[in-house]
Amino acid sequence: MTTASQAYAVLRARLEANIPAGLTALRFQNEDEDSNGAVELPNTPVAFAYVEFNTDQQQLAGYGAGRGANLYRNPAQLDVFVFVPRGQGLAVATDLAEACATIFRSYRDASISCFEASVFPGGDGAQLKPPGLRSEVGNYFWAGVEVALFFDQTG
């Protein structure tokens, strides 16, 4: 049985073990520090990625040997936002995003299956800044990766 946190841990470990050259740090949802221990964005912009994991409602995928043995499929999505210093060009951001996408394309283990890993150009980092929040994110351009996957549970 795979829980949402277990599926996330596997995906996170896969990314951390294969950080694309050019990314200086990884940031994850609901964590203050990046993978280097920094809380604030650096004064001089450098490329980094921010990762979010989201799940959808599970669906019955197969009947087992009675109550507690049915198979449930949990659709999920891993989003990786790659930030690069503004002015470097679209290709720098999308190439780094593509390097992240290849880590997850066709990845499969006993209970997690990744399918599509689509790259899309984003835009000015300031678009992602909540109003009133002080942030250096306006010094960045971003591109995204959207990984469609599912993980299975029994119950």
φ/ψ (deg, to 5) at 129? -80, 125
Which one-letter amino acid corresponds to residue 77? Answer: Q
Chain centroid to CA 92: 18
Q: Give residue-wise pLDDT tens across range 60-109.
A: 777 776 777 787 889 999 999 999 999 998 999 999 999 999 999 999 99
Task: Give the pLDDT score at 118.
Answer: 96
Check residues 136 and 130 and name the one with the higher pLDDT. Answer: 136
Q: Give residue-wise pLDDT tens across range 26-59.
A: 999 999 999 999 998 888 899 999 999 999 988 8
Q: Give residue-wise pLDDT tens across range 6-33.
A: 999 999 999 999 999 999 999 999 999 9
4-130+149-154 is a CATH 2.170.270 domain: no
